[in-house]
């Protein structure tokens, strides 16, 4: 495994970033701090997502946390949040980055998958408490699996803060409105089973089966043409912000792009020749 920063080189491993074939494994590695996000972790996490986005060999990512207690409890309240509240005007205007000149001002938003135009599928493997920014990150994933002991919450209002990583926009679109508002207003934890019942996650498994289940789904995705899969995610994500007619027109445009690829010719050819297709991502 390795981690890297925008400037290159080995750094403290608050993010473990592994590449296994076509699958990227992204692990938040601060169990001593409940896998919370400080400055360094946020920057490393953002860069992992950008590398995943730009590496043509990678097709699917799995996001998880180190250990069995916490997935991610959000921003480090001792380090990150005070810096935000003291520099809010500059941050809102995009004039300042808390992470230094080598990082973009919106690096924290990329880190929690609020921005970044990542059209490759991302699987969340929730190994414990998933709270605040952790749950906001999870809302940016496409498929979610949770261990039986995992719990979920939006806790920012308990500290006088606002869940600005996407929760007030994404959560009401991903689960029933009244359940979303209950989660946002009460800040109470809900169980893995409750999260499954409202559609926040796809399945609940034992802690031993969490990563094998995530890898199994990732493997199934990798069997399909990567450009087609990325186009599907792009059509779904961008189409959600459009009217029905606009979304259907966008879908046709994206479909035409896929039909012009080499993979679109390879699929039918492999079917006719009774063999597995060899995807080139071209």
Of 139, 152, 123, give the one whose Cα is nearest residue 64: 123
Is 251 a residue of the active site?
no
Question: Are residues 175 and 116 in contact, defined by beta-carbon separation less than 8 angstroms?
Answer: no
Is 156 a residue of the active site?
yes
Q: Distances in Å between the alpha carbon of 223 and those of 35, 60, 261?
A: 32, 11, 17
Question: Directed axis angle between helix 244-259 and helix 226-239, to 10°?
Answer: 170
CA–CA separation, 90 and 178 (whole Å): 35
Q: Distances in Å between the alpha carbon of 172 and those of 86, 167, 178, 183?
A: 30, 8, 8, 10
Question: Are residues 74 and 114 in contact, defined by beta-carbon separation less than 8 angstroms?
Answer: no
Question: Are residues 45 and 37 in contact, defined by beta-carbon separation less than 8 angstroms?
Answer: yes
Cα 259 vs. chain centroid, distance in angstroms?
28
Selecting among 18, 68, 102, 136, the annotated active-site residue is 136
Dihedral sign of CA atoms 206, 196, 199, 189 in order = negative
Q: List the structure tokens of 225.
A: 């043409």
Which residues contact residue 2 at a Cβ distance below 8 angstroms, ignoring those fewer than 6 apart?
A: 10, 17, 18
CA–CA separation, 14 and 17 (whole Å): 10
3-state secondary structure of 205: strand
Selecting among 40, 156, 182, 209, the annotated active-site residue is 156
According to DSSP, the residues that pair with 152 across neighbouring strands are: 130, 190
What positions carry a catalytic annotation?
A: 136, 156
């Amino acid at each position: 495994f390795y981690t890297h920063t925008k400037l290159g080189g080995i750094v403290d491993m608050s993010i473990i970033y592994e590449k296994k074939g076509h699958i990227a494994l992204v692990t938040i590695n601060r169990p001593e701090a409940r896998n919370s996000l400080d400055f360094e972790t946020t920057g490393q996490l953002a860069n992992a997502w950008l590398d995943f986005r730009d590496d043509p060999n990678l097709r699917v990512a799995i996001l998880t946390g180190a250990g069995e207690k916490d997935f991610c409890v959000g921003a480090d309240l001792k380090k990150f949040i005070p810096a935000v509240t003291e520099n809010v005007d500059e941050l809102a205007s995009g004039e300042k980055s808390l992470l230094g000149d080598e990082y973009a001002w919106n690096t924290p938003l990329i880190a929690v998958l609020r921005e970044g135009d990542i059209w490759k599928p991302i699987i969340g493997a929730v190994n414990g408490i998933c709270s605040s920014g952790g749950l906001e990150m999870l809302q940016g994933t496409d498929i979610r699996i949770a261990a039986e002991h995992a719990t979920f919450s939006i806790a920012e209002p308990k500290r006088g803060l606002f869940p600005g990583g996407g929760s007030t926009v994404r959560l009401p679109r991903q689960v029933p409105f009244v359940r979303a508002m209950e989660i946002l207003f009460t800040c109470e934890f809900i169980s893995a089973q409750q999260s499954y019942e409202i559609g926040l996650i796809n399945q609940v498994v034992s802690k031993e089966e969490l990563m094998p289940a995530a890898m199994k789904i990732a493997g199934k995705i990798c069997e399909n043409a990567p450009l087609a899969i990325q186009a599907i995610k792009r059509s779904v994500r961008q189409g959600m912000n459009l009217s029905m007619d606009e979304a259907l027109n966008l879908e046709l445009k994206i479909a035409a792009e896929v039909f012009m690829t080499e993979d679109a010719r390879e699929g039918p050819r492999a079917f006719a020749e009774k063999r597995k297709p060899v995807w080139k991502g071209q």
